[in-house]
């Protein structure tokens, strides 16, 4: 029995020894080293931020639902950081830099903090009454890096924010100019648009608005069959295209970055996934559809003729019209102010129809005359056929030809109505905010129209 007791005692001693060793190892792994790991991560982040001699391109999203912006940040060892931007949201379209204080806090991870007010960065996070302030983050949790790209997640609103090491010798301002040019070539003049996303050959209707694409996802394991979930992806514009705030899964691949195809007609994924974002209508149909979108009760969408961008032949025709109108009265001056293609009630049948709206001033009075037309749209061909003019429309047409209504009508029709080939007036065919109408029978006559929202000026 004593022998067995000795064996039990010996076993107990061995267990205590192993327990002590195990407990010591556990403390080494889970206690002190954990703090050291956090501190090490914080120091790693500081060292990385300071290592970019020409700063970082910051791909900033205030939140996962709204448009992103390209910023720049240059961190210094003295605790200062210079932030720069050039966009309408933060700097009224002007290049601007501001210097503030930065630090890295240790919480449940390393947190990059912009400690003091920075007029550039905090324009996205400060909810002020002047319209700026997108409720974005100025505290960002460090996720990981691959050397030249750091990934953060907004501490409060959860948007992904990427820092990309900016090459030496390149200008921040020049790069932001390229961003602005690309944004204009893609989306200038476009407030909202129905489009199509094609994934592995399958098309889905998407809506573009406010710097994001939204669509209904029916084939989603998170919902039951026959139901759908509303999907949204905010994006920002870079010189080579657009980047989603977070990727979408396409088969076994992820799609985040897109650039224009070789024809400049649609956006295609550059990450290896088979995804394109295309227009769902032809240019001619888009021209028609735009005039039939209501914004509010008293406001609608229309096309405004850019009278400064006529071709030489079109400019000569327009000058003949305006000169004749201005010379039509020696007592009460008359002058054309603007010309629009729009939808308008004809005042008789209460049926909305399309009209060339001619805004003109007689003395101190501003009037709008309408020359109504029928419309046929197919592919890139637009046919606008005149029908009749309302009272103010007839008045301005007569003024264009010494009181001769028929000749005055012909002047306007020869310039603004008839058969046109329609194309994008922007750098890329993707942008439909600015269109070029070229007369089919005489290619020397062309006019540019811009998408317009706020009603007659």
pLDDT tens for each residue of 298-356: 667 899 999 999 999 999 999 999 999 999 876 788 999 999 999 875 444 444 589 99
Residue from 302, 282, 258 nearest 429 by CA: 282
Give me the mean pLDDT over the 115-130 stretch.
Answer: 78
Question: Of 173 and 33, which is predicted with more confidence?
Answer: 173
Q: How far apart are CA 365 and CA 386, in angstroms?
A: 27
Burial label, 441 (beta-carbon count in 10 A; 0-12, 13-18, 19+): exposed
pLDDT of residue 350: 43
Instruction: Note the pLDDT tens digit of each residue in 434-446.
Output: 999 999 999 999 9
Q: Name the nearest CA neighbour of 309 among 188, 434, 410.
A: 434
Number of alpha carbons in the 13 Å side-chain half-sphere of residue 289: 15
Beta bridge mates, 57: 72, 164
Q: pTM score, two decimals?
A: 0.81
For the four alpha carbons of 121, 125, 127 and 130, in that order, the dihedral sign comes to positive
Phi/psi region, residue 315 (left: phi>0; alpha: psi -120 to 50; beta: rest), is alpha
DSSP letter at 123 equals G
Mean pLDDT of all residues belonging to the chain:
86
> Quick one: pLDDT band at residue 130, thresholds 50, 70, 90?
very low
For 234-247, the pLDDT digits (tens) are 999 999 999 999 99
Mean pLDDT across the stretch 179-200? 91
Is pLDDT of 82 > 80? Answer: yes
What's 350's DSSP letter? Answer: -
pLDDT at 225: 55
Residue whose token pair is 């032809």: 282
Q: Pairing relation of β-strands 80-85 and 149-154?
A: unpaired
Q: What is the pLDDT of residue 331?
A: 78
CB count in 10 Å sphere of residue 32:
10
Residue with tokens 């910051």: 58
Q: What radius of gyration, in Å, describes the C-alpha atoms of the chain?
A: 31
Q: Who has greater pLDDT, 142 or 41? A: 142
SS3 79: coil
Ramachandran quadrant class, 251 (left: phi over 0; alpha: psi -120 to 50; beta: rest): left
Residue 430 vs residue 31, higher pLDDT? 430
User: Which helix H or strand E contains 387, and what residues bound it?
Assistant: strand 381-389
Helix (H/G/I), strand (E/B), else coil: 87: coil
Name the 3-class secondary structure at 197.
strand
């Amino acid at each position: 029995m004593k022998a067995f007791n000795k064996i039990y005692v010996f076993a107990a001693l061995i267990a205590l020894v192993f327990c002590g060793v195990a407990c010591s190892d556990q403390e080494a792994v889970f206690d002190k080293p954990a703090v050291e790991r956090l501190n090490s991560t914080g120091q790693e982040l500081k060292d990385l931020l300071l290592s970019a001699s020409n700063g970082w391109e910051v791909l900033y999203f205030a939140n996962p639902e709204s448009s992103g912006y390209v910023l720049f940040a240059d961190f210094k060892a003295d605790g200062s950081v210079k932030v720069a931007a050039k966009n309408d949201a933060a700097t009224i379209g002007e290049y601007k830099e501001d210097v503030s204080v930065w630090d890295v806090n240790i919480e449940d991870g390393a947190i990059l903090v912009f400690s003091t007010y920075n007029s550039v960065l905090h324009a996205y996070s400060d909810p002020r009454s002047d319209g700026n302030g997108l409720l974005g983050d100025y505290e960002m949790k460090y996720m990981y890096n691959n050397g030249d790209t750091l990934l953060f997640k907004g501490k409060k609103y959860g948007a992904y924010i990427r820092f990309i090491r900016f090459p030496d010798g390149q200008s921040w301002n020049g790069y932001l100019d390229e961003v602005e040019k690309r944004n204009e070539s893609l989306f200038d003049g476009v407030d909202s648009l129905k489009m199509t996303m094609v994934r592995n050959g399958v098309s889905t209707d998407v809506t573009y608005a406010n710097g994001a694409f939204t669509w209904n996802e029916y084939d989603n394991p998170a919902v039951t069959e026959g139901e759908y979930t509303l999907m949204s992806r905010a994006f920002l514009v870079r010189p080579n295209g657009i980047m989603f705030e977070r990727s979408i899964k396409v088969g076994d691949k992820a799609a985040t970055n897109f650039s224009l195809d070789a024809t400049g007609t649609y956006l295609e994924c550059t990450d290896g996934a088979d995804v394109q974002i295309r227009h769902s209508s032809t240019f001619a149909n888009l021209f028609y559809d735009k005039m039939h979108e209501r914004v509010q009760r008293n406001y609608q969408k229309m096309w405004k003729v850019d009278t400064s961008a006529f071709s030489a032949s079109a400019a000569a025709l327009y000058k003949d019209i305006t000169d004749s109108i201005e010379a039509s009265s020696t007592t009460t001056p008359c002058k054309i102010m603007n010309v629009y293609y729009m939808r308008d009630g004809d005042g008789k049948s209460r049926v909305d129809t399309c009209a060339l709206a001619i805004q003109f001033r007689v003395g101190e009075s501003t009037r709008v005359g309408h020359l109504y037309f029928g419309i046929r749209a197919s592919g890139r061909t637009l046919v606008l056929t005149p029908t009749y003019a309302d009272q103010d429309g007839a008045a301005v047409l007569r003024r264009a030809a010494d009181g001769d209504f028929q000749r005055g009508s012909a002047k306007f029709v020869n310039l603004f109505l008839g058969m046109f080939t329609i194309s994008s007036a922007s750098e890329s065919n993707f942008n439909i905010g600015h269109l070029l109408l070229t007369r089919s029978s005489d290619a020397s006559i062309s006019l540019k129209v811009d998408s317009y929202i706020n009603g007659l000026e």
